Copies of this chain bind each other. A is one copy, B any other.
């Protein structure tokens, strides 16, 4: 079973936007035993979109198109598909009713431009968009399925998971995928430790590494004739990697330090509060991006100004004067102050120099102190992270959550 992915949009061809939809879709298809032959990106031009769809249906059983379903005149995917199918665009009444209801619920008036979004080529079906206004389109041509989805990733992801997976044909090849999430060492160090496993590209278990936001994902893809044997192969490699890497592996799939900390706190019926300076609210944001956070998260005193560290967290002015806001002493007092203020079982604090200004020889850009105060423990950790501002903040936030993870696991 083979797929070809097509993404559309001048913003993609011209390089203003990186296409992340194709790689997301390829990964999802692979999990279902469907191999992606190629990706193609074309601009907002109906003839070019039509030509690439025509070419794709000759080579693959599944053609997924993203983008070009919006309400503006440069959204031309539906026109291209109608051209390929040799049919006219007709109004999908069910989608129109949904769209009217969508606007009504929000108290907005539906404008004429939106109506184009519910036009689909005759003989095709609309796919419900749970997240936005543009339905997808499901069609078949010769022996191939052609499925058009919105280009906005959040809408496309939801549509793929909720509706497209249900219509994809089953593959003969069994595929088992395991993802291990690694935190705490660089990609080249990791690569050295598991070089033998990564280099083996001929067996039917392949391990790939990707890095995003300071976490490394090890994706184990095993293929075999049946589900059980593919799963066994994948599990075998996962076990080998787990033995090799120990507590550097924080979890599986989409686990993050925040989600692991959440699980540990819930199971212990404990609560967490924060005191953030350099991260400005990022750690709180990471924690509350998970639903159900109110069960264990009380809040974060983001104290960017020194006066706020003093007035809200009760950090003594003389500590700020003597050691500076970015110091072990202040980090500890921030964590203590947060724990006192919010009444949490655990408190983490972060104070550092995010740059690009403000570094000194003693305290370079990238330096961060992380305070960790719990029921029977008080610690301050220091790190120096890469000097890019956003990267440093991201790394500091992950490090803080990882210290808490290890403390909750009793390893620190």
Chain A positions near chain B (C-beta within 8 angstroms): 9-20, 22-30, 35-44, 48, 52, 70-74, 105-108, 111-114, 117, 131-133, 152, 154, 158, 186-189, 191-192, 195, 198-199, 201, 206, 208-212, 217, 219, 221, 273-274, 276, 278-285, 287-289, 291-294, 297-305, 307-308, 311-312, 341-343, 354-357, 384, 386, 388-391, 393
A357 / chain B contacts, CB cutoff of 8 Å:
291-292
* Alpha-carbon distance between A127 and B38 when the two chains are bound, in angstroms: 27
Residues A289 and B280 in contact, CB atoms below 8 Å apart: yes
Inter-subunit contact A281/B293 (CB<8 Å): no
Docked Cα-Cα span, A302 to B22, in Å, equals 37
Q: Are A281 and B288 in contact (CB under 8 A)?
A: yes
A39/B38 contact (C-beta < 8 A), A26-B13, A27-B15 known: no
A36 touches B15 (CB 8 A): yes
Q: Identify which of A16, A74, A312 gathers the most chain B CB atoms within 10 Å of its CB.
A: A16
Query: Which 10 A-B residue pairings sit nearest by Cβ, starting from the closest?
Result: A280-B288, A281-B281, A281-B284, A15-B26, A15-B27, A300-B302, A71-B188, A39-B41, A16-B208, A15-B23
Contacts of A188 in B (CB 8 A): 70-72, 111, 113-114, 117, 133
> Which secondary structure dominates chain A's binding surface?
mixed
**A14 CB contacts on chain B under 8 angstroms:** 26-27, 30, 35-36, 208, 219, 221
A71: chain B residues within 8 A (beta carbon)? 187-188, 191
- Given contacts A280-B300, A284-B304, 12 further A-B pairs with CB under 8 A are A11-B210, A14-B35, A19-B22, A19-B23, A72-B187, A73-B201, A112-B192, A133-B188, A152-B211, A278-B288, A281-B281, A311-B342
Give bound CA distance, A74 to B219, whole Å: 12
Q: Could you list 21 examples of A-B contacts with CB < 8 Å?
A: A10-B206, A14-B30, A14-B36, A14-B221, A15-B22, A15-B30, A16-B23, A17-B212, A72-B191, A113-B188, A132-B386, A133-B186, A279-B285, A280-B297, A280-B300, A281-B281, A285-B285, A291-B354, A299-B305, A302-B302, A312-B342
CA distance A248 to B27 in the complex (A): 38
